[in-house]
Amino acid sequence: MKNKVSINDLKLGMYIVELDRPWESVPFESPFDLQGFTITAVDEILRLQELCRYVYIDPELGVGAARYLSEEHNLTELGGLVNKTADALPLQDFYPEQVTVEEELNQAQEILEDSRVVYDKVIQDIQAGNVTDTKAVKKVVNSLVESVLRNAAATAWLVRLKQRDETSYSHAISVCVMALTLGRFLGLPKNDLETLGVAALLQDLGKVKLPQELLSKAAKLTRKEREALKTHVEISVLLINSMEDVSNKVTNIVALHHERFDGSGYPRKFSRSQIDTLAAIAGLVDSYEAMTAERPYRKAKTSFQALMELYEERDKTFPGGLVEQFIQCIGIFPVGSFVELNTGEIGVVVSRNRVQQLKPRVMVLTEPSGEKMSQPQAIDLAAQYLVPAKTPRTITKIVEPEQYDLDPSQFFF
């Protein structure tokens, strides 16, 4: 049995049995052959996206379930996309969760604080012309990798809460954690996760050398100012090259993270296969984090708005398949989202449900009356059938905690 699948809907573990063109007309390289193959790496998905519009898979030879997206599907709402992709082939669980969110929170908090201390020290060393302690950078990134592998939701949740609670919380750390979360979701090997994490943490170092008034300007940048800002990529590469024991892979990711799939990026105008997969991940996450962060000249976009924009620009700014995987990774209700339930209670999403996207795990913070709970209650919205006598809770909308006089940090730290 074979099923037709759009190249934008390919998953790791699928077995390709037929292309939308003759095998001999496609310049495949190892590990691809003319008898079919199992997709084992993100690079292979991106390669197929360059060569084909759709392929045929055999679900009996690969991972997965019964339903697939057609290549003609049209997104009108992000929720529609995530619900549809939830019905498509699920990814095998490359990194099963080792601990619960609650069990990881304390350790993740310590690691994030160490990360901020190390990153601040890197900035201070660059400004003072001192040698950067790359061993400390690698050590803290390795700790972040281990935390994300144990439970990605805990680390992502803390980053979101800290972003709300501390306006100075580093964009670099947010990008690093998000890149590792996506990398984990894609099943990247641990050594690639470590490389990606170091690069994501250091990729914007060059901005330290740019005028502060340029970085903090509240008005729209002029063309000359935009060109000056773009130089941070080359400066970052120079700074990283001056560090001891930093791999060329890290430098390559940093050099390419502002390149775009259609060649519209900078500084080299690279496109498609010229852009390394890890660099595409770093660039995609950097764009999402930038869109959802407050800026002096604009308000932050919601996660919904940012994901919609990225989806509409798929195969222009970033590979369509990678964008859709990212949307699956983030979901309709990202970890850290504050939500209102049909009961009137307010809670925060602490972990996602990849199968039932509308039913994440929520920490309920207030009573239906609006009174704050002294002991927040964790509710798994997907497991409510275990208590059929109660009215099932559902999420009605995403809200801002300030509207309900909620200080996220008071509940957890």
Structural contact between residues 71 and 53, judged by C-beta atoms closer than 8 angstroms:
yes
- Report how far Cα 47 is from the mean position of its chain's Cα atoms: 21
Q: Which two tokens stand for residue 111?
A: 């690691």
Q: What are the residues whose beta carbons fall under 8 Å from the beta carbon of 296, sequence distance 6 or more? A: 216, 217, 218
pLDDT at 62 (0 to 100) = 61
SS (H, E, C) 302-364: CHHHHHHHHHHCECCCECHHHHHHHHHHHCCCCCCCEEEECCCCEEEEEECCCCCCCCCEEEE
Please say if the pLDDT value at position 230 is more than 70. yes
Q: What is the pLDDT of residues 387-409, one digit of tens each?
A: 665 778 888 888 888 888 887 66
How many other C-beta atoms lie within 10 A of the C-beta of residue 385?
7
Please say if the pLDDT value at position 85 is more than 50. no
Please say if the pLDDT value at position 278 is more than 50. yes
Structural contact between residues 368 and 313, judged by C-beta atoms closer than 8 angstroms:
no
Q: What is the pLDDT of residues 243-256, one digit of tens each?
A: 999 999 999 999 99
> With bands split at pLDDT 50, 70 and 90, how would you rate the model's confidence at 71?
very low
Please say if the pLDDT value at position 24 is more than 90. no
Instruction: Give the chain's mean pLDDT.
Output: 83
Q: What is the pLDDT of residues 350-391, one digit of tens each?
A: 888 776 777 888 989 999 998 988 888 888 998 887 666 577
pLDDT at 211 (0 to 100) = 93
pLDDT at 48 (0 to 100) = 81
Q: What are the residues whose beta carbons fall under 8 Å from the beta carbon of 43, sequence distance 6 or more? A: 277
**Residue whose C-alpha is closest to residue 143's, from 110, 120, 106, 121:** 110
Q: Measure the CA–CA gap between 140 and 146, rounded to whole angstroms.
A: 10
Please say if the pLDDT value at position 81 is more than 70. no
Where exactly are the structural domains of the chain?
3-73, 101-330, 338-412
Structural contact between residues 337 and 303, judged by C-beta atoms closer than 8 angstroms:
yes
The CATH topology of domain 101-330 is Hypothetical protein af1432 (1.10.3210)
Write the DSSP symbol of residue 194. H
Please say if the pLDDT value at position 93 is more than 50. yes
Q: Which two tokens stand for residue 101?
A: 């969110």
Q: What is the pLDDT of residues 107-165, one digit of tens each?
A: 999 999 999 999 999 999 999 999 999 999 999 999 999 999 999 988 988 887 776 65
Please say if the pLDDT value at position 35 is more than 80. no
- 202 compared with 382, residue with greater pLDDT: 202
Q: Which two tokens stand for residue 361?
A: 């795990």
Helices (H), ranges, 88-133: 101-128
